[in-house]
Amino acid sequence: MESTTNTMVNGSDLDNNNAAGGGGVVDVYGEDFATEDQLITPWTVSVASGYTLLRDPRHNKGLAFTENERDAHYLRGLLPPALMNQELQEKRLMHNLRQYKVPLQRYVAMMDLQERNERLFYKLLIDNVEELLPVVYTPTVGEACQKYGSIFRRPQGLYISLKEKGKILEVLKNWPERNIQVIVVTDGERILGLGDLGCQGMGIPVGKLSLYTALGGLRPSACLPITIDVGTNNEQLLNDEFYIGLRQKRATGQEYAELLQEFMTAVKQNYGEKVLIQFEDFANHNAFELLSKYSSSHLVFNDDIQGTASVVLAGILSALKLVGGTLADQTFLFLGAGEAGTGIAELIALEMSKQTKAPIEEARKKIWLVDSKVQQLTFILIICLFNYYVSVYLRRVKTDVLNLLQGLIVSSRKESLQHFKKPWAHEHAPIKSLLDAVKAIKPTMLMGTSGVGKTFTKEVVEAMASFNEKPVIFALSNPTSQSECTAEEAYTWSKGQAIFASGSPFDPVEYNGKVFVPGQGNNAYIFPGLGLGLIISGAIRVRDEMLLAASEALAAQVTQEHFDKGLIYPPFTNIRKISAHIAAKVAAKAYDLGLASRLPRPKDLVSYAESCMYSPMYRSYR
Ligand SMILES: NC(=O)C1=CN([C@@H]2O[C@H](COP(=O)(O)OP(=O)(O)OC[C@H]3O[C@@H](n4cnc5c(N)ncnc54)[C@H](OP(=O)(O)O)[C@@H]3O)[C@@H](O)[C@H]2O)C=CC1
Ligand SMILES: CC(=O)C(=O)O
Ligand SMILES: [Mg+2]
């Protein structure tokens, strides 16, 4: 029986849970070390029963409580007489959900279910994954985050704001579970392609962790969603009376770094070295730095940089079976050179270098990226050109300004580029628009990671189809409104030639009597299995080799039958099996690299991964 009691201790000197007292047993609650004048919480483990049992989402079974359970647990009279097993409850709820025509209503209904009956929530999600993924995850979760304040009911996850500075360890102890294995944390600054949603970004860690359980089999009680609230620069939210976060501009610089440092230290202190921390939807000016700062001291990975890279590489490896040729034969062009874009680019280069044994610098030359500075600086250009005619001084700087304005990342821009773009600054004349870049570079594969919808125009897709028999086009930005193009646009504009995948799901498209099934290139294929692999092996660090192993494992799950249908990702219906295979390969890599702490190494890692998975079936109570 799990305790729902608050486990916070009073007195910060009691916070070191490694301290052993009472015969070597860890003094988790600080009781042994408390002096007589220090106050401690008199915690207790109690058996939930009666009304409390029905209100406890982890143990509630609703009408599925048996007659015996109703007697034994004081439930008589608290439930109507009928008995309804889990299958029938599932049928009823799916029927009810389908009555809602507005996706956000389905989202709210699912969140209510999660808060009411956790096992039933996961049973629904696992059994109806293709139908419910778009509800609890992208695209609907994006809208939910935008309206989080209005639809807010019961808080989910842990909120750590600037107000908790100096007390983060105590805040972690407020969480009712002690055995946490995965934390998904955001600061809400780049929620999907929707920008800064501040504290309302909480929908993302909550959604991601529900996938950790449903798709990867981690126990819900071992998952902790966290939002770090350092303010928001979103004026609309700051002026919204229902906004749930701090009403101030974002803290930056030292103040931000100190809060994050305290958080990372407290997490390790409270949960140990093997808790997995997934950074999610941070803006790129923090994301790269946090990842590099903590990857040598914590078990961390950034889903947007690394998880996305792994899923897209898997899709590319599969697509090669349809396109022909090797990875090194391809030329890549990205629209968007941030976390997703440069993360994917780097993993492609790593895999290419691994396959060809050429230096990674050579592999990188096959990959080109376009960023937005051209749009942002067009205005400056106009001003500068105007001034050019009236100012001798500006005549001198004209060339520099022009160089800055190019969209394609090229070597002449190198000095002004953010550090994560510099490896992609190849020798080339400056190019301003994506269309011109497509025509000049002639990529075989076009990747959208800009967060801006409708940027793969008809001309861009037609150009791709004019020099590729089977152009690979991935519109990876989320949610659907930010997708660089729709599936229908990709297939119709390319006259059925495109091999297409998108970050958010699109329905199959019929074109010229043929049905095209788009792939969903979303990191949801990777992080649940990757996380499971790290946990079951007791890994202490994440390495690029593990991401490559995850990509290869996912690509290996695409069968000939799938290829025959034009699929480059396996259907989500088999995701638990897929996650077990990914987990096994990741765990194997952790053992090979000497980073696994759970010994001995299981002989059959796939079976072991499967055996570790959480099942949502109801349990019988004595
Ligand atoms: N499918 C999936 O699994 C995933 C999808 N994504 C999606 O990818 C998108 C980007 O995320 P992320 O990389 O983290 O975001 P970043 O903010 O780190 O990067 C966005 C990049 O796009 C560029 N950009 C923005 N607007 C334009 C434009 N109009 N033309 C050309 N380039 C433009 C930016 O340019 P500049 O650098 O000049 O500002 C920047 O390089 C989001 O929509 C996100 O939802 C992210 C992770 C996973
Ligand atoms: C899928 C995801 O992680 C994103 O769009 O940010
Ligand atoms: Mg993300």
Give Cα 551 distance to the centre of its chain.
16
pLDDT digits (tens, 9 = 90+) for 361-371: 999 999 999 99
pLDDT for 48 equals: 79
- The set of protein residues with a Cβ atom below 6 angstroms from ligand 1 is 190, 192-193, 284, 304, 308, 311, 335-341, 370-373, 375, 449-452, 455, 476-478, 482, 503, 521-523
Rounded mean pLDDT of 178-183? 96
Coil vs helix vs strand at 501: strand
Rg (CA), the chain: 26
pLDDT digits (tens, 9 = 90+) for 117-127: 999 999 999 99
Fill in the DSSP letter of residue 602. P
The tally of CA atoms less than 13 A away on the side-chain side of residue 221 is 16
Of 622 and 319, the one with more pLDDT: 319
Residue-averaged pLDDT of the chain: 91
pLDDT digits (tens, 9 = 90+) for 422-438: 999 999 999 999 999 99
- Cα torsion 542, 544, 546, 547 to 10°: value is 110
Q: Which of 220, 455, 190, 213 is nearest to 303 (CA)?
A: 190
- Take residue 131 and report the two structure tokens written for it: 């139908």
Of 195 and 9, the one with more pLDDT: 195
* Residue 22 φ/ψ region, left for φ over 0, alpha for ψ in the -120 to 50 degree band, beta for the rest: left
Predicted complex ipTM exceeds 0.90: yes
What's the one-letter identity of residue 237?
L
**Cβ(339) – ligand 2 distance below 6 Å:** no
What number does the ligand 2 atom closest to the CA of 524 have?
A: 1
pLDDT confidence tier of residue 158, bands split at 50, 70 and 90: very high
Whole-angstrom distance, CA of residue 499 vs CA of residue 516: 9
Helix (H) or strand (E) holding 519: strand 519-520
Using the mean position of ligand 2's atoms as its centre, give its distance from the Cα of residue 168 in Å: 27
Catalytic residues: 137, 208
What number does the ligand 1 atom closest to the CA of 522 have?
A: 3
Whole-angstrom distance, CA of residue 294 vs CA of residue 312: 24
Coil vs helix vs strand at 502: strand
**CA 337 → CA 196, 288, 334, 404, distances in Å?**
18, 13, 7, 15
For helices 339-356 and 544-555, the axis angle rounded to 10 degrees is 80
DSSP string, 336-352: --SHHHHHHHHHHHHHH
